[in-house]
Structure 1
Amino acid sequence: MTTPTTDPSPASPSPAPAAGRRSWLRDHSELGVCVLLSVLGVLVLADALTMDVDITQRGPVGPRTVPVVVGAGLLVVAALLALDVLRGGRGQAETGEDVDLSEPADWRTVLLLAGVFLGAAVLIDPLGFPAAGALLFWGAAFALGSRRFDRDPLIAAVVSLVTYAVFDKLLGVPLPGGPLMGVL
């Protein structure tokens, strides 16, 4: 017959509920992606189902079909990912040889790229796509570390003009030309 042993050490305090919750959230951080995919899926579905569609549609595939399929697919992927995470699945950590996971994120580059993108979006109407696109391409090259001030603006202008010509002239997708296109 064995006698129960008691631990002579004082009782260790149990972890605080907030710390336990934080640890659980850290272990299941992929659920944030599930929430993002779910919100995006609901937005796509809501937009597709409230879309004003002409009744004279021909055939079974209309303008709502692709958005409904994409929205439903986003919800299915979010549910499957959430199920996998809750069952203990985890995404693999980055193993790229050029990524140092001990270094913090480069927020300066991220913010510069976001600013350049938003600036191009604001300037596309008053300046037109060729000028706003050139600023976008040059700004992205600058944000990512290129400091060739003699060549980068020229390459950005050529890429922007070629992109404008392909979309506007060849593909028939109208892009705003801006005041410079009236001169050219």
Structure 2
Amino acid sequence: MTKRTESTDVVADAADTERPSRRRWLREHSELGVSALLLVLGVLVLTDAITMDVDLTQRGPVGPRTVPIVVGAGLLVIAALLAVDVLRGGRGEAEAGEDVDLSEPADWRTVLLLAGVFLGAAVLIEPLGFPVAGALLFWGAAFALGSRRFDRDPLIAAVLSVVAYAVFNNLLGVPLPGGPLMGVL
């Protein structure tokens, strides 16, 4: 019976030493996650490009499939090169000017505020139009990121939104929903 307990202890000790080493290996090779993401994205882009409905009466060598195929193939090549580099011991290094303290917890309040502002703008863009929804988006993002200048921020947000609407709608020819201000701008 003592022998059985000793062998069980040996197996348990081996499992305990294997878990931290596996976790350490995953932590040291976390860039493989980025490589996997690029691989999935490349396959998705190539699949969409290949299955794209295209008018075959086009003229010239470059068609609507060319750019997506080049981008998808590039994503696959980059995913493979990144995976090889990481498995050979390469690591991405933080920028010298980066001041992120990784020991601090994430600021979920800011993340949730920004997500709420973005979703609110997405919901309001159709009934209120881009100028109003964009102004709320810019102002809400400034507030979520810490600006508390209630005298200045709404004015800047409104100007940015109206200018962006005018540039896209009038200069670039990209129609945006105008909402109640459609006739004014």
TM-score (norm 1): 0.85
Q: Is 1:150 matched with 2:151?
A: yes
- Give the corresponding residue for 2:27: 26
| Structure-2 change in CA distance of 1:56 and 1:177 (3 Å) | farther
Equivalent position SS for 1:61: coil
Q: Is 1:161 matched with 2:162?
A: yes
Q: Which moved more, 1:51-60 or 1:135-144?
A: 51-60
Q: Which moved more, 1:83-92 or 1:113-122?
A: 113-122
Q: Report the alpha carbon displacement of residue 29 of structure 1 after superposing the two structures with TM.
A: 0.6
Kindly provide the amino acid, as one letter, of the partner of residue 96 in structure 1.
G
Q: Distance in 2 between matches of 1:72 and 1:97?
A: 32
Q: Which moved more, 1:69-78 or 1:86-95?
A: 86-95
Displaced runs of 4 or more, over 4 A = none
Identity %: 83
Q: Report the alpha carbon displacement of residue 183 of structure 1 after superposing the two structures with TM.
A: 5.2
Q: Distance in 2 between matches of 1:115 and 1:45?
A: 33
Unaligned runs of 5+ in 1: 1-10
- Give the corresponding residue for 2:85: 84
Kindly provide the amino acid, as one letter, of the partner of residue 33 in structure 1.
V
- Give the corresponding residue for 2:114: 113
Q: Is 1:37 matched with 2:38?
A: yes
| Structure-2 change in CA distance of 1:174 and 1:37 (3 Å) | same
Measured on the aligned residues, the alpha-carbon RMSD in Å equals 2.1
What per-residue deviation string (whole Å, max 9, x for no partner) do you get for residues 86-108 of structure 1?
11111113432533333222222
Q: Distance in 2 between matches of 1:78 and 1:66?
A: 18
TM-score (norm 2): 0.84
Aligned residues: 174
Q: Distance in 2 between matches of 1:27 and 1:56?
A: 52
| Structure-2 change in CA distance of 1:55 and 1:18 (3 Å) | same
Kindly provide the amino acid, as one letter, of the partner of residue 84 in structure 1.
D
- Give the corresponding residue for 1:67: 68
